[in-house]
Chain A
Amino acid sequence: MTVNIVGAGLAGLSCAYTLAEKGVKCNLISLQPSERAQSVMAEGGINASLNTMGENDTVAEHFFDTMNGAVDLADPNAVLGLCKNAPKLVEMLDKLGVPFSKNGIGIIQRNFGGQKKKRTAFVKSSTGKIVMTALIDAVRRYENEKIVTRYSHHKFERLIIENGECRGLTARDTYNDELISFCGAVVLCTGGMNGLFEGLTTGTVNNTSDVTATVFEQGVKLSNLEFLQYHPTTVGIQQKRLLISEAARGEGARLFVNRNGSLWYFMEEKYPEMGNLMPRDVVSAEIVKVTDMPECENTAYLDMTPISKDVWKNRLSDLKEQCIHYLSVNPEKTPLPISPGIHYFMGGIYVDENHMTSLNGLFAAGECACQYHGANRLGGNSLLGALYGGKIAGESAGKINAEFTTDFIAEKSPDKKVSPELSKEICKILGESLKILRNENDLKTAEDKLKSLLNKDLNSLEKSRVNLALATVMCALNRKESRGAHKRVDYPDTDKNFQKTTIVSFVNGKIEISYREIPKLRDKNEIEN
């Protein structure tokens, strides 16, 4: 029996590597090879309390920072597993040959948002790319041994569900249009829902959200869709937003706005302890607030000129090249006008601590899954979440991988696409309502518009996309509080009654919202041990 992994980014690779190490065969099914995955774009680093910087860092502090960043909306047992395993996983990457910079004690770490200690291991400003290279090479060994089989130009079509259980999936070979059935447990590692916000995210084009939309309509529960991360420092370039890594602020860059003719370093004044390195939801909301003030100019700047030449060369070389190439700005000399842009989806496919979805036999990991990050993800926890989540999903899928059989034969059907016009329309509706600061009117308008879109002549994939968009808006409408990345101007306070996971289901053609209690930490002593 074989486990079928959909998506070959960091979570998918980690899942394949975990299974292959145990000798479990797996198919690695992806639209493009791993080198093209969004994971290669991760820049700043990966969090682990390695305690190499003389700051007495601990797993407990990583745990509390992650839970605080998540505004208590993450599963504490899952987060504790994440933080406890982080040092071992970074050690694994070191053994796989990721060229981390080292001091006399171990891997050098940098400051990152929402964390008081230097906890982010990095390779210059290309951590994702360099980590991916090492894992791609590690998995290649198992491809050679025929334990891992790649299908690298294959598009997910549908899950095969029989007797209320996921028995496999169908995928389309995009080179010859042939449909293939894969039998066995399925692990989805298909990335964030960028396609809902075409052109407005820092991510990749092929993370269309269509896998999530399809399995949602097939009955798989989603959760916390209202929590979108706006990264504070992005710049619009052609067809997308360009990320200016948080590593810049970790290495000393400062945010300012021009107020009555003088520079106001608003983050440093408002948050003296963490300043520019407050969690991303806080920084993004502050940028919106200060640039809306009448005494301030409507553009905020990131001043990277305090960063030393040595740091530019040894720690941020790719970031500098990007600014010069795409923005024609030398960040060593000139502050950069920035604004927040959509960067990460904390919500997605509902999974439990073992990365099992609401459907037996189906697992999910990485950005497509809702795990670890609650209402707001900390920088440096996404690579970690993908690596650890992929590992746990692999372990779980490997365990239940009993004798699955299916007689399913995929019927030939034409490839479906979401038209560019519809994609743009959805993006416009969501962009105008799921803003950093939200209100009921905008969300209701969006809900109405999406509902009326459903009455148009749409193909099944287009309908799924609209339904996913509608589910996202409904999640945001129903959460009548402000928490983390979900900030409602009409409900500005955090309400403890909403300290629950939003669950969204598709039942008999209708979208239903409910809430689930956050699991309790099983053993408080575990944190210190």
Chain B
Amino acid sequence: MKLRIDILRQKSPESKPYRQIIELNCDNDETTISSLLNTINSSNLKDIDSNDVGEIKWDCNCLQKKCGACAMVINGRPRLACDTKLSEFKNGKITLEPLKKFPTVCDLVVDRTPMFENLKNLNVWLEDNSELKPKKTELAYEASRCIQCGCCLEVCPNFSVDAGFFGASATVPVSRIISELNKTKGYDVLKNYRKNIYNGCGKSLSCMNICPVGIDIQNLMVNSNAVSVWKRKN
């Protein structure tokens, strides 16, 4: 399979992004994008204009969609590189870009600090011991699975790093906290949820079916809204 890989690169946060196109052959269409990047980085390749490619910077760690590090925009869709196989791109044309909602550090590496700061701003922690009821165990499990990759934020029309709406990457973890409370009042996290999640979500549902680990975000929101907005106890 002949591949034409178009990568949006950037040397530093301040420098201008530029496109680099690499052509190479790959026999195995089960190859993942993470494996492809690894191959490119361990070969001394030239691009189609005969410039050196050098090391393409990207984040990765687990290589099996458990850590969320390798999120990037692949052919226009935010996904994990380790979860994307070449077989999906029959014409061999692949575009790799960094997530655009966050500042670029270099190449495909972005600074996702604002996503983690929002969890702090939202008070995503339990102030008292968990009061998890058996009927909410499954829900708390589902909400604990978020890998903080940021794919859901990329497609969200309401999220930006400086907006008051924190997006699905905050909605999911905070739902774990809310599902384990025994009261519907008296916790800042409930107030913050109303302000930074409930009021800001435009219900576009653009985040549905984007989550690489398949979290049912809407189902979690049903419970979080019930407790924090409609004051129904878990």
Q: A97-B177, A99-B140, A101-B137 are in contact. List 4 more A-B contacts (CB 8 A).
A: A32-B69, A37-B61, A97-B126, A133-B144
Q: Which B residues touch A33, using CB under 8 A?
A: 112, 116, 148
Q: Number of residues in B with C-beta < 8 Å to the partner?
A: 49
Closest approach, in angstroms, between the C-beta of B27 and any C-beta of chain A? Answer: 13
Which has the most chain B C-beta neighbours within 10 Å: A35, A124, A204? Answer: A35
Q: Evaluate contact between B41 and A420: CB separation under 8 angstroms.
A: yes
Binds A, one of B30-38, B154-162, B200-208, B226-234: B30-38
Partner of B62, one of A41, A123, A124, A126: A41
Within 8 A of B (CB), among A198-257: 204-206, 237-240, 242
Tell me, yes or no, whether B123 is within 8 Å of chain A by CB: yes
Q: Which residue of B lies closest to A94 (CB)?
A: B130
Partner of B60, one of A152, A205, A325, A326: A205
Given contacts A123-B141, A204-B62, A206-B61, contact A239 B124 (CB under 8 A): no
For the complex, give the distance between the alpha carbons of A37 and B69 in Å. Answer: 10
Task: Give me the interface of B with A, judged by CB distance under 8 Å.
Answer: 13, 30-32, 34-35, 38, 41-42, 59-64, 66-69, 83, 105, 111-113, 116, 119-120, 123-127, 129-130, 132, 134, 137-138, 140-141, 144-148, 173, 176-177, 180
Q: Evaluate contact between B125 and A35: CB separation under 8 angstroms.
A: no
Given contacts A36-B67, A420-B42, contact A140 B125 (CB under 8 A): yes
Q: Which B residues touch A326, using CB under 8 A?
A: 64
Tell me, yes or no, whether A102 is within 8 Å of chain B by CB: yes
Given contacts A99-B140, A134-B144, contact A237 B123 (CB under 8 A): no
The 4 closest A-B pairs by CB, nearest first: A97-B130, A420-B42, A141-B125, A99-B140
Partner of A129, one of B35, B144, B176, B180: B144
Within 8 A of B (CB), among A100-146: 100-102, 123-124, 126, 129-130, 133-134, 137-138, 140-141, 143-144
Tell me, yes or no, whether A296 is within 8 Å of chain B by CB: no
Q: Evaluate contact between A238 and B31: CB separation under 8 angstroms.
A: yes
27 A-B pairs within 8 Å (CB atoms) are namely A32-B61, A33-B112, A36-B61, A36-B62, A36-B67, A36-B68, A40-B67, A41-B67, A97-B126, A97-B180, A99-B140, A99-B141, A100-B137, A133-B145, A133-B146, A133-B176, A134-B144, A137-B176, A140-B124, A141-B127, A152-B116, A237-B64, A238-B32, A239-B35, A239-B38, A240-B63, A325-B83
Q: Evaluate contact between B66 and A129: CB separation under 8 angstroms.
A: yes
For the complex, give the distance between the alpha carbons of A205 and B61 in Å. Answer: 5
Q: Evaluate contact between B62 and A137: CB separation under 8 angstroms.
A: no
Tell me, yes or no, whether A311 is within 8 Å of chain B by CB: no
Q: Which A residues touch B125, using CB under 8 A?
A: 137-138, 140-141, 144
